[in-house]
Structure 1
Amino acid sequence: MPTRDATDVVPADDAIPATGPRPPRPWDAFARARTALDAFEHLVGGVGTAILALVMLVWVAATAAACLVGVGLLLVPGTLRGVRAVADRERARLSQWGPEVIGREPGTGPTRLRDAVADRGTRRELRWLVGHASVGLVLGMTGLTLPLTAATNATFPLWWRLVPQGEATDSLGLITVNDWPSAFAVSLLGLGWVAVAVGFEPGLAWLQAWPGRRLLAPDPGTDLALRVAQLTATRAAALDAHATELRRIERSLHDGTQNRMVAVTVLLGAARRAVERDPSAADAMLEQAQGAAEQALAELRAVVRSILPPVLTDRSLTDALSGLAAGCPVACRIDADVPERFAASVEATAYFVVAEALTNIAKHSGARQATVVVRRRADRLWLRITDDGRGGADEVSGSGLVGIRRRTEAHDGTFVLASPVGGPTTMEVSLPCGL
């Protein structure tokens, strides 16, 4: 059997990994405090929607009582819209602090009493309304009271002398303060309240949000159905954009390159006939034919570059956008910080979005300068194009904005346009990186 000699290395005691509990680290307390602060913010928003739910619950009860005599039937559509509006407000609040809670499409949902009774979504919203207006409001007020109680007790030595003699007590009335030692005792009690608030606030926020996430979420399969509908719409938009691009290329070849080549053919035929009769005239015609051929070649190259710019393959998206800015009649600044490459289709879409936007700026905006910002945010490529023009751009004026939207949505991207009259105009486009 092998034996250990004197040269064998024996691990030191501090090299053996510890198996006991990890000692607390200073930043753990800050993380818990931050979590409690976020939970307090959630509870404040929950109290707001709980008050709205309480008001709407009273209105629903009044409408139900009025329905017993028939008058309330006229109030049912408005009441249902009100319940839906409050529920959508809670969905928006919950979506800010966690997974998105999808609601109904605007303008949908029952408006008659019989349909509302049969609609499962409406019944779930009413159940949430009752729970959030009662339990949710209590949880929210409790969550608001804990930090206020902690702050009141912790700062007690600062203001207890302003309270009339015999009325200075802690929040629970356990300690009557008549001197400084008892005042500091209340302050120590306030530190205990701080610990209680830090420990309980996240749980209260979770309990307040749980009924909304359970009752206001769509039925299983609804999210998938919405996604299928969205993909169907974007697929149709992609096909439409593809057909539009083919028509554009066909027009460019037919109206430009083809006419140039016809001119070259005519000039070459005339020059051939004039060779024997008037060589000097034939030379002039050949020169015109050469010029027409060069123009046709330049237009053909422009069409090819419009299909897929070679600079995207040879260099980078930043270089391609810099080329667009250099050729724009309006002074344009490119602020691009995307050192990595993306999928070819994504880069081509970003290029054409910027190209179309700069063309619109040059033709319609009257701007003196434009700025293009390109960044990568998480798994998306984000672009913002701004100009200081007159504004008032919209998608129905035939300015190419519809094509930009279709190109963007075909890649499952987003398109946002803000163009108030008087300017400035801001266009934001977000595309999946495609990596």
Structure 2
Amino acid sequence: MDSRDWIRDGLRAVAGGVAGIALAVLNLPLLVLSLVTLVLSVVPGLGLVLFPLVTRLVRRRAGLARRLAGGYGVTIARPYRPRPEGIRLGGWRDYRWIITDQGTWLDLAWLLPGAVVGLVLGVLTLAVPLYGVEGILLIPLWIWLGTGWYGYGAIWPIETVGQGFLSLPQGALILAIGIAAAPYLRRVDALFSRLLLAPTRNAQLRMRVSQLTVTRADTVDAQAAELRRIERDLHDGAQARLVSLGMTIGMAEEMVADDPDGARKLLAEARETSSAALVELRHLVRGIHPPVLAERGLEGAVRALAMALPIPTSVGAAVPGRLDTPVESAAYFAVAEVLANVTRHSFARNAEVQLWHHGGTLTMRISDDGLGGADPSGGTGLRGIERRLAAFDGTMSLSSPPGGPTVVIMELPCVSSSPKTMPSSGTG
């Protein structure tokens, strides 16, 4: 690690320690308010409104702790059950949903020990570097002012100028130790928060069941919509052309004896109709499972897709072998939809696709240098991508600040077969 990196990370952790002290102190009034409003729940009407409101404040505080822990590589899942639809804030159903949620009690159980541990570690994170700064700056200042005897710590009394200057290297060493240790202290705080804030195994199983119920419903809806689209395309396209083809051939049969020239014209028209029907069927099959995907695999299909785009799109891939067909198809169409959004909405001059498989997860990263400002709620197909990935327990994250760049990262849990020996990269 570069020296500038550990200094930057250490100073950021020291600043995090200052924030940790303030947030630890905030835990105490939140705990008092929670207990008071819980006791007031016996008062009709009053507790039903106050306790859910205070609980929401506690959840915001716990959510902030989870986000801060993520900055030090500690992931803490949210333990809360989904909010049922139609619940009115401050009503009995809202109160019952809050008080029966195990996440509510996890947060309350964390407030006091989280405050104690956060305060101790925050003070320690801040005190050691400040003690080093004292040895570097304050001791020479005292010598210059000539205020008399000064003790730098319990074992470093300063009575002369020479002793004062000897505190400089000691202070520099303590400052370096404090900055280097600060990220580890913040990580310990994050690990302790995870110990109390993370959902229990039973809660994780319930959340998993709820998630599977939602994704199953989305998958069924998406499949039904896809079947309706195929039926509509067949009915309006190839089927209509085949009916017309049959009628044209029948008319040609009747005209063969009396009007051979007219029959030949009808047969030529029938040939054109059959060609058009074949083209439509090929487009329809390509929309279900592209032949290039079956022939070349995900990497080759994405490269072919990139070559057909109107903007230069580079493709780098490290996918060892073939994936399961459903996963491969979902990944291909997800990448295709994101690239379609790039060409339609981003006004980008360049795009990049990165694919890699590691630890049983396929990761797809698509970036562009466009205008940014992409919003999943804006009807750009991103919600459809999320539903497609969710059917395989996949996830999608989006970063698209105004002015760009836009980065979409999609992950799909999957296994790979017949691994290659070397990853490949190139430009589509």
Unaligned runs of 5+ in 1: 1-26
The 1-side partners of 2:101 and 2:261 are apart by 89
Q: 2:27 aligns with which of 53, 56, 69?
A: 53
Which range moves more in the overlay, 292-301 or 224-233? 224-233
| TM-score calculated relative to the size of structure 1 | 0.74
Residue deviations 1:337-370, cap 9 Å, x none? 11434413333223222434455666x6494757
Q: Which residue in 2 is equivalent to 1:11?
A: none
Q: Which residue in 2 is equivalent to 1:334?
A: 313
Which range moves more in the overlay, 43-52 or 387-396? 387-396
Q: Summarize the Cα distance change of 1:278–1:428 in structure 2 as closer, same or farther, 3 Å threshold.
A: same
Which range moves more in the overlay, 406-415 or 55-64? 55-64
SS of equivalent to 2:256:
helix
Q: 1:136 aligns with which of 118, 127, 140?
A: 118
Q: 2:131 aligns with which of 142, 146, 149?
A: 149
- What amino acid sits opposite 2:363 in the alignment? L
Q: Which residue in 2 is equivalent to 1:82?
A: 57
Asked whether the equivalents of residues 417 and 427 of structure 1 are also in contact (C-alpha less than 8 Å), the reply is yes
Q: 1:166 aligns with which of 148, 160, 163?
A: 148
- What amino acid sits opposite 1:133 in the alignment? A
Q: Does 1:320 align with 2:263?
A: no
Output the aligned Cα RMSD: 4.5
Query: C-alpha displacement at 1:293, in angstroms?
Result: 0.9
The 2-side partners of 1:40 and 1:33 are apart by 10
SS of equivalent to 2:355:
strand
Highest RCO, 1 vs 2 (Cα 8 Å, sep ≥ 6)? 2
Unaligned runs of 5+ in 2: 417-428
Q: Does 1:345 align with 2:326?
A: yes
The 2-side partners of 1:201 and 1:423 are apart by 33
Query: C-alpha displacement at 1:296, in angstroms?
Result: 1.1
The 2-side partners of 1:279 and 1:428 are apart by 63
The 2-side partners of 1:302 and 1:71 are apart by 62
Asked whether the equivalents of residues 143 and 164 of structure 2 are also in contact (C-alpha less than 8 Å), the reply is no
Q: Which residue in 1 is equivalent to 2:76?
A: 100
Q: Which residue in 1 is equivalent to 2:422?
A: none
Q: Summarize the Cα distance change of 1:424–1:289 in structure 2 as closer, same or farther, 3 Å threshold.
A: farther
Residue deviations 1:227-281, cap 9 Å, x none? 2221222222222222222222222222211111112211111111111111111
SS of equivalent to 2:200:
coil
Q: Summarize the Cα distance change of 1:370–1:245 in structure 2 as closer, same or farther, 3 Å threshold.
A: farther
Query: C-alpha displacement at 1:212, in angstroms?
Result: 2.7
| TM-score calculated relative to the size of structure 2 | 0.75
How many residues are matched?
A: 403
Asked whether the equivalents of residues 79 and 102 of structure 2 are also in contact (C-alpha less than 8 Å), the reply is no
The 1-side partners of 2:43 and 2:273 are apart by 87
Q: Summarize the Cα distance change of 1:67–1:307 in structure 2 as closer, same or farther, 3 Å threshold.
A: closer
Q: Which residue in 2 is equivalent to 1:286?
A: 267
Q: 2:257 aligns with which of 265, 276, 280?
A: 276
Q: Matched residues, percent identical? A: 33
Query: C-alpha displacement at 1:209, in angstroms?
Result: 4.6
The 2-side partners of 1:243 and 1:103 are apart by 32
Q: Does 1:375 align with 2:391?
A: no
Asked whether the equivalents of residues 14 and 179 of structure 2 are also in contact (C-alpha less than 8 Å), the reply is no
Q: Which residue in 1 is equivalent to 2:230?
A: 249
- What amino acid sits opposite 1:90 in the alignment? A
Computing the radius of gyration over CA atoms, which structure comes out larger, 1 or 2? 1
SS of equivalent to 1:187:
helix
